[in-house]
Structure 1
Amino acid sequence: MLIDAESGDPIPSVIAQVDNSGRHLSDERGQLSLELSAKTDALFSHIAYETKRAVLAPDRAVTIEMVKKTNSLSEVTITSFESERGLMEQAAAVSKVDEADLNRFNETSIVNAFNTKPGIRLEERAPGSYRVSIRGSSLRAPFGVRNVKIYWDGIPFTAPDGTTALNLLDLTNIQGAEVIKGPAGSIYGAGNGGVISFTPGKVTQNKAEASVMGGSYGLLKYRVGVDQTLENGSFSASYVKQQSDGYRDHSALDRQVFQLQGSFEPSDRQQITTKLLYSDLFYEIPGGLTAEQVAENPRQARPGSAEQNASIKQKSLYGTFVHDYEFNDHWSNHTTVYIQTTDFENPFNLDYKKETQYGYGARTKFTLNDQWGAFPVRLLFGGEYQFANTSAQNFGNRNGQADTIRFADDLITTQGFLFQQIEVNWTPTLLMTLGVSENFSQYDINRTVDASAGDPYAATRTFDPVVVPRIGLSGQLTEYSAVYGSLSSGFSPPTIDEVRTNEGSINLGLKAERGVNYEIGYRGEYLGGKVQLDASAFFFKLDETITTYTNEQGVVLFRNAGATDQKGIEAQLDYFLVSNPVGLIQELKVGHAYSYHHFRFKDYVNDGEDFSGNALTGVPQNNLVNKLDLISRTGIYLNLTYQWVDEIPLTDDNTVMQDPYQLMNVRLGWRKNFGTAWQLELFGGVDNLLNESYSLGNDLNAFGGRYYQPAMDRNYYGGVKVKMRY
């Protein structure tokens, strides 16, 4: 018998693939009869359930429990705000990116998958060079990921100075992600832009996988991996290499990532997971172009970039330890610890930077589930601490080689916070969440060499302790609909790269951003889950906004720009046109995501120019995404994505704009099981099908009009995956 693992209900129309006896189908009662002469492997699949492998024996009845896929909002579980609850109970704007989202595109980066979600915008100025914008939060990020807190398997992946080397991770290291939009400092500390929590894959069966793909402009990627279950745990290992020549001159990429993971259960009450992640990354930086240069040849690099070997070399090693322990039926603890080392080298047109770093950190959370009189209560409290020691040197750049040293610093960054949160179910349908954190951070800069000033000196920036509160209410209207509201505070101190700039100055006067977010939202599903709506409206007030400008030498500098008002509406609508596990078309799903961002400078006067009332730099006002996904009984699938992006202001005075653009991506594939052990997948696709000219990540307020980073024109890819279960 085939039953739902959660409800115990029978599952009709489950396809059973049995060695040497073809395919069979369960009846309306979930029952299936097979004539077997010996023990046999069987593979059970259903469009609404995870595929399961089992061993069947002659004349023996077995019950197979199948785990349902989360195709419905009411079934989605969210772990954000450190509290595992259904999405309908969450009083926050949270988007979930699952494995199917990541695999809808060419699997070379996470950019396209995240950009299908409302309010989220990932940019790739060159292959491997990411920026993350959640509700406009990349305003202060000329390069790299800032003002967004990122976790990987619950481990702080953002450095204590607020930057994140997101490009170290490959899709191999990620199975899905949850994105909190807006400040979440009450439980995650610094960062007004939100939180991304990546979930790595779990070992559920013995398997070996290999894949290879290639594409336009020298793209080549291959991966091998193995998962092995043990008596009281599991083991996995994977290696992936990706390389490309790049669309533009001097934009090549070469990345290798190796991951080793072990998971163990010493007892029924505890689980230990350890990981070793090594990433070797190299990519070239073509640089920004003027409008005239783009019109002349969008594939050219900025003059001097190739001659100066503008590029990034980064080797990083992470070791992680995760421990879960249940003291009893009420108390539990989750603790993560990491250590890391990084070797970083960055020749650029204007200088040559070298850094070596080591760091460590930990996060722990205690959870109590109990009753407060007649009310169920969940209490959370814990803390997080991070430390990093960096040796940084800046040299002159002579034809791509480090020349005379200009300045050198020993940098120590620390950040930490304590958090507390209480959740009370006042009624079975009304949940209140109260949270608060107490934060501290400090930079110690010991300048050991300064070619211009002469004598060494030291500087320290200690930020005043910051208390960050949050309150949220969620109420279920029906079993399949809910409303929520929240009031949350956030703060974001400047990163070490914003305080210690590339021309040698130390800007200790740069202030931390402070923000308050007001939000209401609605979630609902109709027609038995076939139609799903998730919508929210927000108003975010940000003070001491950090913006960028470029001096005459082309060095990016930072300043506080008064206040901004950020108002917006975001919505996602998905509906199933077809959901039939035995039909020729098993699933046909259409989705839409829309963002309206009315973001304005409220109080911003600089050098006598008043930018108050101008649109926030780098933020499109409207963004629309349409998706179509098809799965057939024959194994053929189709993923089609269309995105329209409104014009984008490139300067604070709004005199230069990037024109609106539209993108269309398509992927077509075929997936087939051969017996119970082997699976083969062939796929191919086209990105930028309409051959649009655009920049996926502009340089804001760039000196000399070098705003544009032209993205790839129409390009193609294809590949094959092989999986063996054993």
Structure 2
Amino acid sequence: MDKTRRHSSVGTFKLGQFRPTPATLKCGLCVHSHPQQDRALNTRLLPPQPAVLLAALLSTVPFPVSPAQGQTESRDTVTLPTVVVTVLRSPVRLDRMPFATSVLAGPEVREGNSGVFIEEALHGLPGVRVQNRYNPSQGERISIRGFGARSQFGVRGIKILVDGIPATLPDGQSTLDHLDIGSLGRVEALRGPAAAMYGNGAGGVLLFESAAPHTGTYRQDATVVAGSNGLLRLQATGSGTSGGVAFRASATQSRFDGFRDNATGSGEDPYSQATRTTLNAGLTTSAAGGTLALQLSGVDLDALNGGSLPAELFDEGSNEAWGFNVRRGTRKDARQGQVGVSWRGGVGALAGTFSAYGVGRELDNPIPNSVIDLTRRGGGVRVGLARGWDTEGGTARVDFGVEGELQSDDRRNFANDGGEAGALTRDQQEDVRTGALFAQLQLPLTGRLAVTGALRFDHFSFSADDRFEAPGNPDDSGSRTMTGLNPSLGVHFDLGGHGLFASVARSFETPTTTELANRPDRAGGFNPELEPQQGWTLEGGLRGEFGGRTSYDFAAYSTTLTNQLVPFEVPTDPGRRFYRNAGRSRVQGFELSARTSLSPTFTARLAYGYLDARFTEFTVGGNDYADNQVPGIAPHRVEAALRAGRGPWFGELRLEARGDVPANDANDASAEGYTLVELRAGGTGIRAGSLRLSPFAAITNLTDVRYASSVVVNAFGGRYFEPGPSRGGYVGLSLGWDRGH
């Protein structure tokens, strides 16, 4: 088998060997083609070199200086604030967390962004990777340590909550169509198995929180953003605090025409247009001696699906929509509404949390050979109690509780007749019922040593009522039951300004109803052979700060998986994803992040991740894929930013570099690595009478690189590549005015 990497203008990769072209210049972690030789700045990431990584980290550390210099430094020092996270369902200082955890907040998640793509808000979050497919009908592909990287649509393998309401359904599938990206105020990420506290999720947890309401009587904000490829976002937000009630409401409409040309001569052009309208509202108030919170959200999404391209078209520089998709009218029309309510307060000697949510979704989704008509209803309740007490080492805490969720899908599939529903091919009711018991203990053993242990039991019941019976198509009704007992144990040792942590945890991830229902033999019911993915993860790391100016975080991990869920396609149904279990696989790597205040004007941040995911036992049709890389995952990724700020003005230079991504189980095709550079600048809260003005602008893909923004794993016909946009940009303006303080 030819293992040569394709699509490289820098050099040729073979296993264990790299041959650079004459114009190649080596530079630390990367190999850059000379800009005079190649207009597109393509980057190849080499295996991690410890000396280079150490030098990169030490370059952010302030070394001892002379007394005179020290006096100047002391005036410029910006003390890093104490950060508290809630991703363990209870408040814990970030520097005391026994698990790999990271936070982005404030300007980093919102300032200068277009507010249309999630990847902007998550830039620089270590261990978290986003493949922006520039295809809202499929959604951006979010992964943590490789989990979720092969999702067909939406997000898999990660538990996601938005303002406290689960965006992950009981079967493990998440959709973020309703996320108000332009109003985000904070993102927390737990990197690694989250099953012990959150259940069905192997990769970790993402908590999205909207910006806090205005503390005065009322604030009104209006934002408009316009950019290349028909990008347009209009948003109005009102928030305030009055009579003990804090509230926030936002309405947003965004449009993105995209760049996927329609080469068929008929139909919409470009064939990548998308319009999304979201409504989000929330309020908090005091009630029954505690805090009551209510959250509402709704989304209306209409998006065309241009599909992926084979290598011959991608290599030619084509951005055209796949002709078969255009002729079949592939698209996604979705409507969703969600409501959640929670209460926190004292229950006798205990602290209590009670929450409930409900969701409804309507989906009309023509894919190449089918039209999917889905009506979904779901919801859940959670009751948690906690008690804290003082020990010689500090405050201990125990949390325990129960959860229950349900999901009901009314699914009908039709033959695709040019994007319209043809003959009925499937009609079934799919239900998921889950129940869980969980407990967590946080125990300081000494003033420096603390342990956190958790245990959770989950019971999943999947059932399908097959209502489509015809000659040769019998009743395939049936049910599946899956259970998981998932422990975790973490240890943290405080070194004074630095902290060591280590943990071991078990992960558990069920197939979704869509994955169970998609059977290559086209039968109804659920796939009886598809099993849950399970694994064990060991991790350890070090985090801390130097001189109040520089913080860093390092974590290394190793995960062993059994029954890994792997997607594939079949010739009779291209564009439709099916799933099978791999025997065993291994995921290991490390994450390094650092940020520093270089001066009162300049700050810098860096995030590097190395990930080696390989099958250890996996045979399909007589082909042995043992020791092959798990497709869809880039082994190397770097994200960096240099930010300048003075007064209300800011400027930022962003960089993202990614290594090669294997595209199939055989590893005989891959998407070339790339480097993207982005420049953004603007101002925040500039006073103009009673108004606050926040203008901003950005140039994206500054070096005009040709790259595959996403890979469709194991796609039939070699259609692995989803192209990213060429050089572009956007400009925006936010207007705000306040009433009361």
Category of TM-score, reference length = shorter chain = 0.7 to 0.9
Q: Residue 618 of structure 1 corresponds to which residue in structure 2?
A: 632
**Deviation at residue 561 of structure 1 after TM alignment:** 0.7
Residue-by-residue CA offset, 1:519-556 (whole Å, 9 max, x unaligned)? 111111112x2111110111111111111111112132
Mapping 1:245-394, distance limit 5 Å: 245-249=257-261, 250-266=271-287, 269-327=289-347, 331-371=350-390, 376-394=395-413
Q: Residue 205 of structure 2 corresponds to which residue in structure 1?
A: 195
The answer as to 2:657 corresponding to 1:644 is yes
Q: Residue 474 of structure 1 corresponds to which residue in structure 2?
A: 492
Q: Residue 90 of structure 2 corresponds to which residue in structure 1?
A: 83
1:116 aligns with one of 118, 124, 128: 124
2:193 aligns with one of 178, 183, 192: 183
The 1-side partners of 2:680 and 2:438 are apart by 44
Residue-by-residue CA offset, 1:537-578 (whole Å, 9 max, x unaligned)? 111111111111111121321111111111111000111111
- Matched residue type, 2:95: M
**Deviation at residue 201 of structure 1 after TM alignment:** 2.6
| CA contact 1:550–1:703 (8 Å) conserved in 2 | yes
- Matched residue type, 2:275: D
Mapping 1:100-139, distance limit 5 Å: 100-103=107-110, 104-128=112-136, 129-139=139-149
Q: Residue 694 of structure 1 corresponds to which residue in structure 2?
A: 707
The answer as to 2:691 corresponding to 1:678 is yes
Comparing 374-383 and 651-660, the one that deviates more: 374-383
Q: Residue 732 of structure 2 corresponds to which residue in structure 1?
A: 719
| CA contact 2:407–2:431 (8 Å) conserved in 1 | yes
**Deviation at residue 200 of structure 1 after TM alignment:** 2.3
1:491 aligns with one of 508, 512, 515: 508
**Deviation at residue 74 of structure 1 after TM alignment:** 5.9
| CA contact 1:676–1:725 (8 Å) conserved in 2 | no
- Matched residue type, 2:276: R
**Deviation at residue 677 of structure 1 after TM alignment:** 4.4
Residue-by-residue CA offset, 1:587-644 (whole Å, 9 max, x unaligned)? 31011111111221111122111111111211111111121111112x2211211111
Q: Residue 591 of structure 1 corresponds to which residue in structure 2?
A: 605
The 2-side partners of 1:372 and 1:212 are apart by 54
Comparing 515-524 and 442-451, the one that deviates more: 442-451
The 2-side partners of 1:690 and 1:72 are apart by 36
| CA contact 2:463–2:480 (8 Å) conserved in 1 | yes
**Deviation at residue 126 of structure 1 after TM alignment:** 3.0
1:237 aligns with one of 241, 246, 249: 249
Q: Residue 3 of structure 1 corresponds to which residue in structure 2?
A: none
2:473 aligns with one of 444, 454, 459: 454
SS in 1 for 2:467: strand
Q: Residue 238 of structure 2 corresponds to which residue in structure 1?
A: 226
| CA contact 1:140–1:546 (8 Å) conserved in 2 | no
Residues 375 and 278 of structure 1: CA distance in aligned 2, closer, same or farther (over 3 Å): closer
Residues 295 and 598 of structure 1: CA distance in aligned 2, closer, same or farther (over 3 Å): closer
**Deviation at residue 457 of structure 1 after TM alignment:** 3.8
- Matched residue type, 1:471: L
Residue-by-residue CA offset, 1:200-221 (whole Å, 9 max, x unaligned)? 2322232010010100111111
Mapping 1:518-537, distance limit 5 Å: 518-527=538-547, 529-537=548-556
Q: Residue 97 of structure 1 corresponds to which residue in structure 2?
A: 104
| CA contact 1:531–1:573 (8 Å) conserved in 2 | yes
- Percent identity for Structure 1 against Structure 2: 25
Q: Residue 13 of structure 1 corresponds to which residue in structure 2?
A: none
The answer as to 2:682 corresponding to 1:665 is no
**Deviation at residue 508 of structure 1 after TM alignment:** 1.6
| CA contact 2:437–2:456 (8 Å) conserved in 1 | yes
Residue-by-residue CA offset, 1:111-161 (whole Å, 9 max, x unaligned)? 133242222111222332221111111254122211111112222221111
Q: Residue 666 of structure 2 corresponds to which residue in structure 1?
A: 653
Q: Residue 207 of structure 1 corresponds to which residue in structure 2?
A: 219
- Matched residue type, 2:181: L
Residues 652 and 183 of structure 1: CA distance in aligned 2, closer, same or farther (over 3 Å): same
SS in 2 for 1:598: strand
The 2-side partners of 1:363 and 1:469 are apart by 19
The answer as to 2:512 corresponding to 1:512 is no
TM-score normalised over the length of structure 2: 0.84
1:538 aligns with one of 537, 557, 579: 557
Mapping 1:54-69, distance limit 5 Å: none
The 2-side partners of 1:111 and 1:266 are apart by 37
| CA contact 1:261–1:273 (8 Å) conserved in 2 | yes
The 2-side partners of 1:519 and 1:78 are apart by 19
SS in 2 for 1:497: helix
Q: Residue 409 of structure 1 corresponds to which residue in structure 2?
A: 428
SS in 1 for 2:668: coil
The 2-side partners of 1:229 and 1:375 are apart by 36
The 2-side partners of 1:383 and 1:631 are apart by 47
Residue-by-residue CA offset, 1:416-441 (whole Å, 9 max, x unaligned)? 31110111111122111111001111
The answer as to 2:464 corresponding to 1:445 is yes
Q: Residue 440 of structure 2 corresponds to which residue in structure 1?
A: 421
SS in 2 for 1:654: coil
The 1-side partners of 2:142 and 2:560 are apart by 20
Q: State the Cα RMSD in Å.
A: 1.8
- Matched residue type, 1:472: G
Q: Residue 50 of structure 1 corresponds to which residue in structure 2?
A: none
- Unaligned runs of 5+ residues in structure 2 are 1-76, 262-270
Q: Residue 145 of structure 1 corresponds to which residue in structure 2?
A: 155
The 2-side partners of 1:238 and 1:373 are apart by 47
Residue-by-residue CA offset, 1:460-512 (whole Å, 9 max, x unaligned)? 0111x31100111111100x211101011111011111110176333121111
| CA contact 1:493–1:511 (8 Å) conserved in 2 | yes
- Unaligned runs of 5+ residues in structure 1 are 1-69, 580-586
Comparing 346-355 and 498-507, the one that deviates more: 498-507
The 2-side partners of 1:74 and 1:636 are apart by 22
The 1-side partners of 2:471 and 2:178 are apart by 35
Residues 189 and 72 of structure 1: CA distance in aligned 2, closer, same or farther (over 3 Å): farther
- Matched residue type, 1:97: L
| CA contact 1:126–1:285 (8 Å) conserved in 2 | no
TM-score normalised over the length of structure 1: 0.86
Residues 374 and 679 of structure 1: CA distance in aligned 2, closer, same or farther (over 3 Å): closer
- Matched residue type, 2:255: Q
Residues 72 and 459 of structure 1: CA distance in aligned 2, closer, same or farther (over 3 Å): farther
Residue-by-residue CA offset, 1:80-128 (whole Å, 9 max, x unaligned)? 1112111111011112122322225322121133242222111222332
| CA contact 1:168–1:281 (8 Å) conserved in 2 | no
